[in-house]
A and B are shown apart, each in its own frame.
Chain A
Amino acid sequence: MRWILLLCLGLSLPALADLDYALKPRLIAADTWLLEGSTDNFAKANGGNIVNTAFIVTEAGVVVIDTGPSRRYGEALRQAIAQVTPRPVIQVLITHHHPDHALGNQAFKDVPIGALADTTRLLHEQGDSLAENLYRMVGDWMRGTEVVLPTQALQPGVLSVGQHDLRLLALTGHTGADLAILDQRTGVLFTGDLVFYQRALTTPHSPGLAAWQADLDTLQALPWNLIVPGHGPVAADAQPFAQMRDYLGWLDQLLRDGAANGSDMAELIRSPIPERFAAINLSRYELTRSVSHLYPRYERAQMQRLDTRY
């Protein structure tokens, strides 16, 4: 029996030790470090590291933007920061309530965690079920992960940390409460998930595609010189905005035409995806999801009242 236990232990320890995010911060602008995730879906192979997180090393301390998908990620992020600078983390900013951006909060309990008030409300309402779903998709990487709510309600305006004036914008297109951050010192624009680049956008809590398009106008008009999307590579040109607009416009038209032609949801999910979106990872998967999220509104807008009861 003892031997069996030892054998089990011997076999399982290396398996546990393998769960290492191996986060490698990359300097993308002065004082500004990016941890770029893959553009894949949540999977046991990637531990949910499909998201971009970042930190800014200011004179006053470190500002962290999003904490990642799990406790393990949050802890790894904290260690990665310590590799780069001895300065303490003094502020966390959460861009929105989705689990890949906010479930690393446990590792930052000793720091003010700022978010828009509605982000905190949404995380309070949905956090547990969002986390449960990640446990299902990502497995053991999630062990010990629990929802930790933000402790500080952010207002739009300028937040000054050290020499960095961070302009905070309260937008809505992706989840109803989306924080974008422009570092006015470096010109780095952290868009959160208002911008996906080379990775299909997700719509589970979007108030509507028109609101999202309007947010893109707001963001693009800012004096940025580097875009850090929520998912996908950074860009120094406006290509991410162009791709977002193109994709959102196509999706909107697809749903509009579908409703006008009386297409069923199951048919729309199989719609051909234009060749120009071929480089966008997971577009078929996300189309399936987006049709489920958004199509009912398009359908209802187009249908007539038919009952003869009244």
Chain B
Amino acid sequence: MNWRLSCILACWLPLAAHAVEVDPVPSVMWAFYHKQLLADAPFVFDARVKLLAPPFAEDARQVPLEIDARAFKGHVVRILAWAELNPLPKIVDFQPKEGVLPWLALRIRIEQATPLRAAVLTDDGIWHVGSALIDAAGGGCTAPSVVRSQPGWEEHLGEVLGGRYPRGEFSRVRVQVAHPMDNGLVSGIPEFFINHGQLRGQDDQVLAELELFPAVSENPNLAFDIEAPGPTRLVLRDNSGNEFDAAIP
């Protein structure tokens, strides 16, 4: 650790009792990802970023993941999540704006037991890293698509199921999008996945930007907590240029 980072940490530690210097999960890849994805920027391992996943993957193709950075509400610039030992590690890059809580739930594929990370960039330039460890029998990234085994799946591409669920101060918006999210690892099937999304509120102002990667499960399930009043639009685009549009009343 360089001296500048140490200084920043030293200043931070009294403020952030939850921040720990020691990696809370056994990882052989942290330094690599710190450089690769966070460009060696200042960071703390921080238990206030809750990365909630089951201790083991019952279905390695559909592993539920919840990223909760509400402890930093109002200061979150970006949330980046990845699965360290996945062949395609990146999961999501989420940028909630005014009116969207720094919280996200989705389902992912994992190829083997792995540390999971959610790095939350706050407006002071520090990455707060939440961690979890998940066990798995494995194979979630290379298993044949369930969607593609259903005849006529192309007809349903981009269909969105979902709803809005009032939660008092905010409302939960959930969607499930029909899409195979092909990651290119299954023989003979090239990458074909939803790579971009935008949540828009009244007057079409952007509430959140979302970049998705093919570690996200097929038929992606996404959930957001939104303070802004409805209706909400979710605009999605895949890497073949298809656009999908959903209106959540």
Taking beta carbons and an 8 Å cutoff, which residues of A are in contact with B?
A: 132-133, 136, 204, 261-262, 264-267, 269-270, 288-289, 291-293, 296, 299-300, 302-309
Given A303-B161, A306-B248, A309-B244; A266-B64 close (CB under 8 Å): yes
* A293 B58 Cβ-Cβ under 8 A: yes
Given A133-B137, A302-B163; A307-B64 close (CB under 8 Å): no
* B64 A264 Cβ-Cβ under 8 A: yes
Whether B40 is near chain A, meaning CB under 8 Å from some CB there, is no
Contacts of A133 in B (CB 8 A): 137
Given A262-B165, A265-B64, A266-B53; A299-B176 close (CB under 8 Å): yes
Complex CA distance for A296 and B62, rounded to whole angstroms: 10
Q: Name 9 extra pairs, CB < 8 A, besides A262-B167, A264-B174, A304-B161.
A: A204-B58, A269-B54, A288-B55, A303-B174, A303-B176, A304-B162, A304-B163, A307-B244, A307-B245
Interface pairs (10), CB distance under 8 Å: A261-B165, A261-B172, A262-B164, A264-B105, A265-B64, A269-B54, A292-B62, A304-B162, A306-B246, A307-B246
Complex CA distance for A267 and B137, rounded to whole angstroms: 22
Complex CA distance for A309 and B158, rounded to whole angstroms: 8
* B64 A262 Cβ-Cβ under 8 A: no
Taking beta carbons and an 8 Å cutoff, which residues of B are in contact with A?
A: 52-56, 58-59, 62, 64-66, 105, 107, 137, 158-165, 167, 172, 174-176, 221, 223, 234, 244-248
Complex CA distance for A21 and B29, rounded to whole angstroms: 40
Q: Is the interface of A mostly helix, strand, loop or mixed?
A: helix
Contacts of A269 in B (CB 8 A): 54, 64
Complex CA distance for A281 and B212, rounded to whole angstroms: 39
Complex CA distance for A304 and B165, rounded to whole angstroms: 12
Given A133-B137, A307-B246; A266-B161 close (CB under 8 Å): no
**Cβ of B67 to closest chain A Cβ, rounded Å:** 9
Q: Which of A261, A266, A292, A296 has the most CB of B within 10 A?
A: A266
